[in-house]
A and B are shown apart, each in its own frame.
Chain A
Amino acid sequence: MEWAIEVRDLSKVFDRYTAVERLSFKVPAGKIFGFLGPNGSGKSTTIRMLCGIMRPSSGTGTVMGHDIVTDPEKIKQNIGYMSQKFSLYEDLTVEENLNFFGGIYGLKKQELAQRRDEVLETALLGAKRKSLAGILSGGWKQRLALGCAIIHKPPLLILDEPTAGVDPVSRRVFWDILRGLSSRGFTILVTTHYMDEAEHCDLVAIMYQGVLEGFGSPAELKQHWNEATLENVFIAMVQTHRSLSEEASV
């Protein structure tokens, strides 16, 4: 499969406003794809449509070759999703959480045990396999949430601000794991507010007010905006828009 994600003219209109407007991009398989933008720029809405849990108002898209409108159930089986809330069962142990999500994704006994051990190793969870999720620190919870998302070996991982509120060391460890997964062929879509993390991505999209403002490798974007870092690109882009809209309102 050449493209992990492919969307064309994707729009989502709510009662009063347009959350996402004519979004088009393609993400090749096996890449780390950074999805950037300030709060309220339409990132979460786009992710919901890609996960097959929200119908677009117009436009088309495929995720791992499955249509986001007609085949959402196939998509759910082929993605792993992790949100910034680390939605874990706090009164279940690390192992029990992994067992539950493995079971939900249809893994059978033997396969589940094998995958669980692999994930415990990949996400560096082995030392606390018998601990309750509720007593883990932020970094461990984050890795457990990742572990639950990859238990069924999904070809595509969708991570919505996975590093929000986690200490810098844990963030570094987490990104090391992501790069390891990427090198093993996983495609990763990750949203973040940390521009240093965005620099590690193979491909970056920047959204602003529902519109795709930039798309390319970090190097290409920096060159295009003539800035030294992605952070400056991001700020420059937002400021351009603000001054434009101020002019318009004057």
Chain B
Amino acid sequence: MNLNRIKHIVVKEFIHIMRDKPSLAIAFVMPVMMLLLFGYAVTTDINNINLVVLDQDMTSGSRALVQAFQNSNYYVVTQYETSYAGVKSDIDTGSAKAGLIIPHGYADKLARGEQSPVQIVIDGSDPTVARTVFNSAQLLGQEKSTELRLASLEKTGLALKIPGGIDLRPRVWYNPEMTSLRFNIPGLIGLVLQNITIILTAFALVRERERGTLEQLIVTPVKPRELIVGKLVPYIVIAFFDVALVLAIGVFWFNVPVAGSTVLLLALSALFLLTALGLGMFISTVAKTQLQAMQMAIAILLPSVLLSGFMFPREAMPKLVYLLGYLMPLTYFIDILRGIILKGLTLYQLWGDVAPLTVFGISIIALSSLRFRKRLD
């Protein structure tokens, strides 16, 4: 290994990146854009559901029920209708996601101590929204009923004899407000790191072949390993910069602090980086043009987004799909990231993810180097 030679390759590679707008965009704009997109757009926390109300009762009792829905923060009453057809039209056009129908005589029945039916109509096309409406409406109904029962019992003077029942006290750990942002940011660091490294390294190596400059390099004294190291160093630097950038935005802008050791986080990021570099190199040994490299990169990136547990919980997947997730290095890294950032886990606790990731990294780097050398000869 000749350090002077490697230095010149690194300098040249940095010049390529600085003068190539797409590379610059992938390296510095994409991570921020992805973070903002996932931070703001992709959220599974549902509130402010548009609610249409058909109040046929028009009493203080029915208005109190509507108010209870409003106060829950799950709903915003956007329209009042006077007919069932009006409710249907609002839900059909999507201006409301749920309809609350309070029939005539609602308050009277309650006053008489009878059960009083109330209908909630749900737009079930988005199951996540529908489920939230379903659960929250049921909860609201139960609360309201309990309240009414207590009130009537108090009136009759029997309140002291209510049986105790179970008092379930939930405590949510790691992410007490249960915001999806806190869950998404750690995974996003992994995704950004993977995408940038794989795409940029695959491009950098394929470009050299596509433009015919590799042929020139072969007749120079440069050794394959010097070329590989020299070409990869700039992308390692950029990838680490991106990790720091995404982490900083996560901590300072989105308020997702790192519960565990930042040093451990960076060290294990380096381990994952090796794997991603190896994958990028592997693509470059197969692809002949940059277009092919892009297609292959997407063929690796897309399944990793779906199967790694980045967005969808792996536990809910069918067994086979769940097992396929173990073939993605990102799966282990996202586990590690969430473990350190949310739970503050230590290396010892993360061993089950670190070991397979190490095996992955070493194998893919070894395989790619072998293939890369063969293609040079």
Contact = CB atoms under 8 A, between A and B. Distances in A.
Given A91-B15, A106-B4, A51 B219 contact: yes
Q: Is the interface of B mostly helix, strand, loop or mixed?
A: helix
Contacts of B213: 87-89
A242 to B, nearest CB: 32
Contacts of A73: 221
A225 interface: no
Interface in B212-248: 212-213, 215-222
B218 A53 contact: yes
A105 B216 contact: no
Contacts of A92: 12, 15-16
A106 B2 contact: yes
Given A89-B12, A92-B15, A106-B2, A77 B20 contact: no
B7 interface: yes
**How many residues of A sit at the interface, in one of the four size bands?**
20 to 34
Interface stretch (A95-103, A179-187, A229-237): A95-103
A88 B15 CA distance: 14
A53 B4 CA distance: 23
Given A90-B211, A92-B15, A104 B219 contact: no
Contacts of B220: 76, 81, 101, 104-105
A89 B16 CA distance: 9
A103 B7 contact: yes
Contacts, number: 66
Contacts of A106: 2, 4-5, 221
Contacts of B211: 87, 89-90
Residue among B211, B217, B219 with max Cβ neighbours from chain A (10 Å): B219
Contact of A76 (B7, B16, B19, B221): B221
What band does the interface of chain B fall in when counting residues whose beta carbon is under 8 Å from A?
A: 20 to 34
A77 B11 CA distance: 21
A79 interface: yes
A85 interface: yes
A103 B7 CA distance: 8
B221 A104 contact: yes
A83 to B, nearest CB: 7
Contacts of A148: 216
A80 B15 CA distance: 24
Interface string B1-39: 010110111011001100110000000000000000000
A81 B16 contact: no
Contact of B16 (A51, A91, A101): A91
Contacts of B8: 99-100, 102-104
A115 B187 CA distance: 51
B9 to A, nearest CB: 8
Nearest to A79: B219
A104 to B, nearest CB: 5
A76 B221 CA distance: 5
Given A89-B211, A103-B8, A105-B221, 8 more contacts: A73-B221, A79-B219, A83-B212, A87-B212, A89-B213, A91-B20, A104-B217, A148-B216
5 contacts: A77-B221, A87-B212, A87-B216, A89-B16, A90-B211
Interface of B: 2, 4-5, 7-9, 11-12, 15-16, 19-20, 211-213, 215-222
- Which are the 9 A-B pairs with shortest beta-carbon distances? A103-B8, A87-B216, A81-B219, A76-B221, A91-B19, A87-B213, A85-B212, A87-B212, A100-B12
